[in-house]
């Protein structure tokens, strides 16, 4: 018989208990899922959806034209992409945008609100030359809208910027 590890518990019993705990942990391993990836073609009408947990690859056309989407930077149009995000519950929405070359880029979040003048309530805006660009905002359940773009009025003719976007909710 082995030496007691604690009063009334032998080393063999303690070893057996640890072994059972390890086996139980192996039965339900923690799995970490990687976000899925989707590529989006712009200009197909309506704001494409940015699905929570799904990486979206899109190429931003740096030229402001009647065909592509644009946003206002100051009083000038700037190239950008528009997305809608369906938020299923209140929480902290995080949107991350990765881009390869240092560029003056921005992320802008807003919701539609008939109670404010103009019907749009700004949530958050961030801009930077460095990738990744991340915006975090506490949101309620409902639709949130995102503009992601080049922070240069009138854009840069011929510039194509590959973007990778990921929205998550905590």
pLDDT score for 24: 40
Q: 33-70 as b/e, with b when 16 or more CB fall inside 10 Å?
A: eeeeeeebeeeeeebbbbbbeebbebebbbbbeeebbb
Q: Which of 31-35, 124-128, 154-158 has the lowest mean pLDDT?
A: 31-35
Q: Indicate if the pLDDT at residue 16 is higher than 60.
A: no
Segment 65-80 mean pLDDT:
82
* Burial tier of 145 (Cβ tally within 10 Å: 0-12, 13-18, 19+): middle
Q: Indicate if the pLDDT at residue 87 is higher than 90.
A: yes
pLDDT digits (tens, 9 = 90+) for 92-132: 999 999 999 999 999 999 999 999 999 999 999 999 999 99
Nearest to 159 by CA among 102, 96, 97, 95: 102
pLDDT score for 69: 74
Q: Indicate the pLDDT class of residue 38, thresholds 50, 70 and 90.
A: low
First and final CA of the chain: distance in angstroms? 53
Task: Please state the domain extents for the chain.
Answer: 1-32, 36-169
In CATH, 36-169 is 2.60.120.380:
yes
Q: Indicate the pLDDT class of residue 23, thresholds 50, 70 and 90.
A: very low
Q: Indicate if the pLDDT at residue 76 is higher than 60.
A: yes
Q: Indicate if the pLDDT at residue 47 is higher than 70.
A: yes
Q: Indicate the pLDDT class of residue 46, thresholds 50, 70 and 90.
A: low
Structure tokens at 39: 């590529």
Which residues 6+ apart lie within 8 Å of 119 measured at CB?
112, 113
pLDDT score for 64: 87
């Amino acid at each position: 018989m082995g030496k007691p590890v604690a009063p009334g518990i032998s080393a063999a019993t303690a070893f057996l208990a640890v072994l059972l705990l390890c086996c139980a942990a192996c039965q339900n391993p923690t799995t970490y899922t990687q976000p899925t990836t989707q590529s989006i073609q712009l200009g197909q009408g309506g704001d494409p959806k940015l699905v929570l947990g799904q990486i979206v690859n899109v190429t931003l056309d740096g030229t402001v034209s009647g065909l592509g989407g644009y946003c206002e930077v100051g009083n000038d149009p700037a190239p950008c992409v528009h997305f809608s995000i369906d938020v299923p519950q209140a929480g902290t929405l995080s949107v991350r945008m990765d881009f390869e070359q240092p560029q003056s880029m921005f992320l802008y979040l807003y919701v539609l609100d008939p109670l404010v003048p103009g019907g749009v309530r700004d949530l958050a805006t961030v801009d930077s030359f460095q990738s990744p660009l991340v915006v975090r905002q506490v949101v309620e359940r409902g639709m949130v809208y995102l503009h992601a773009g080049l922070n240069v009025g009138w854009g840069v003719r011929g510039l194509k910027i590959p973007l990778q976007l990921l929205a998550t909710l905590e």
